[in-house]
């Protein structure tokens, strides 16, 4: 025969066990989930690279006092291409072409123009404030050529047209001018 005191003790033990079990499985209020956070920082360096895919313009023979230019693509004009990672501003300069007339002279001119790339659009800023889009006397030192030439491979070229007029008193013979184009980050 179990006494009442023993039963009371068992019931108290039952209550304690039940309380401990319940409290141990109650989830804390601040539930921890799978939240995760992190930062990724990537820097793409600046690369300024330009090339002249067509780097020679040969006008062939020209008679004293006559004009020739690349505006008809005969001969083919210079194409300047941005192979870097950022837009660039490009300047131009050239050594004298004629022995009788030094740069800058109307006998030796350049003009910035669009190429076929980019469809009807321009791959650079075609506004006169940014680019020399009208015939301009070739400067002996830095002169504006193209502004903000894009680096996107689908549209990253500009054309440099050249117009020459052989001075009437220019001695016969071969003439050469070195044209330098310089790019800086735009």
Contact 181, 92 (CB under 8 A): yes
**At its nearest, how many Å lie between another protein and the CB of residue 16?**
9
Q: Which is nearer to another protein, 145 or 155 (CB)?
A: 145
Q: Which lies closer to another protein via its Cβ, residue 39 or residue 116?
A: 39
Closer to another protein at the Cβ: 108 or 124? 108
Among 69, 97, 125, 147, binds another protein (CB under 8 A): 97
* Nearest to another protein of 4, 134 (CB atom): 4
| Between 115 and 177, CB nearer to another protein | 177
Contacts of 149 (CB under 8 A, 6+ apart): 50, 80, 82, 87, 88, 89, 90, 123, 124, 156, 157, 158, 183, 186
> Rounded to 5 degrees, what are φ and ψ at 165?
-130, 115
Residue 154 engages another protein in binding (rule: CB under 8 A): no
Task: Kindly state the number of chain residues that form the binding site for another protein, as judged by CB under 8 A.
Answer: 75
Per-residue exposure over 76-92, b if at least 16 CB sit within 10 Å of its own CB, e if not? ebbbbbbebebbbbbbb
> From the CB of 120, what's the least distance to another protein, in Å?
27
Tell me the CA end-to-end span of the chain in Å, nearest whole number.
101
Query: Of the listed pieces 4-12, 112-120, 128-136, which binds another protein according to CB under 8 A?
Result: 4-12
Residues 25-84 that bind another protein (CB under 8 A): 25-27, 31, 33-52, 54-65, 68, 78
Spatial CA neighbour of 175 closest among 108, 112, 91: 108
Among 112, 148, 149, 166, binds another protein (CB under 8 A): 166
- How far CA 14 is from CA of 5, 20, 81, 83, in Å, comes to 14, 10, 87, 82
In the bound complex, what is the minimum distance in angstroms from residue 129's beta carbon to another protein?
A: 20
């Amino acid at each position: 025969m179990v006494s009442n005191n023993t039963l009371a003790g068992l019931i108290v033990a039952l209550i304690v066990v039940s309380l401990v079990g319940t409290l141990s499985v109650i989830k804390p209020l601040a539930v921890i989930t799978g939240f995760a956070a992190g930062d990724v920082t990537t820097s793409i360096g600046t690369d300024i690279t330009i090339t002249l895919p067509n780097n020679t313009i040969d006008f062939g023979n020209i008679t004293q006092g006559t004009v020739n230019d690349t505006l008809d693509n005969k001969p083919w004009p210079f194409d300047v291409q941005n192979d870097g990672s950022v837009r660039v501003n490009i300047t131009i300069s050239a050594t004298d072409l004629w022995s009788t007339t030094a740069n800058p002279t109307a006998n030796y001119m350049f003009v910035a123009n669009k190429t076929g790339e980019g469809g009807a659009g321009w791959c650079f800023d075609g506004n006169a404030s940014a680019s020399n889009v009208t015939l301009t006397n070739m400067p002996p030192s830095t002169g504006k050529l193209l502004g903000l030439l894009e680096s996107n491979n689908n549209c990253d070229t500009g054309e440099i047209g050249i117009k020459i007029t052989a001075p009437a008193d220019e001695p016969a013979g071969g003439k050469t001018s070195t044209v330098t184009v310089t790019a800086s980050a735009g």
